[in-house]
Amino acid sequence: MSRVHAKFRAMVSGNPAEAAATDGDHGHHGGHHDGPHIVPVWLLAVVLIILLALTVFTVAVTLVDLGTFNIIVALGIAVIKSAFVVLYFMHLRWDSPFNSVVLMAALVFIGVFLAFALVDSSEYRPAVDAAVSTTK
């Protein structure tokens, strides 16, 4: 019980030393320092290049007509770009997992929000359309 408790505290704190202490078989990387993870510059540069390339791709896709897929592709690329920003620029990849939980929770609730609003308005759209068309 106390070991579970210690692991939970380690997860919330995101302290790699604390996490390593509770996890016997996992050795944390970065042997030259014990402190928080420091992201290398080359990795940041690579992520930037990927993001710029995806931006170019996003604009290029609009020149092709895919019908309803256009917005799906555009949003899909935006999600991928966000993932890169969140994981690498915002450091969430090496951060406490609980911070990821907080972010995911916010996104889940936004999803619920949009889903219900869209389902509801789509449901009543035929009635609204009919009402509007009669009054021109």
Q: Which of 8, 21, 44, 97 binds other proteins (CB under 8 A)?
A: 44
Using rule CB under 8 A, residue 110 touches other proteins: yes
Tell me if 127 contacts other proteins by CB under 8 A: no
Of 8, 28, 36, 97, the one binding other proteins (CB under 8 A) is 36
- Site for other proteins contains 35 (CB under 8 A): yes
Encoded tokens for 63: 């020149």
Residues in contact with other proteins, counted by CB under 8 A, come to a total of 59
Closest by CA position to 11, among listed 2, 24, 25, 23: 23
Up-side HSE of residue 90: CA atoms within 13 Å toward CB? 12
Assess 8 for contact with other proteins (CB under 8 A): no
81/96 Cα distance (integer angstroms): 21
Tell me whether residue 25 or residue 66 sits nearer to other proteins (CB atom). 66
Using CB under 8 A as the binding rule, whether residue 22 contacts other proteins is answered as no
**Whole-number Å distance between alpha carbons of 130 and 11:** 55
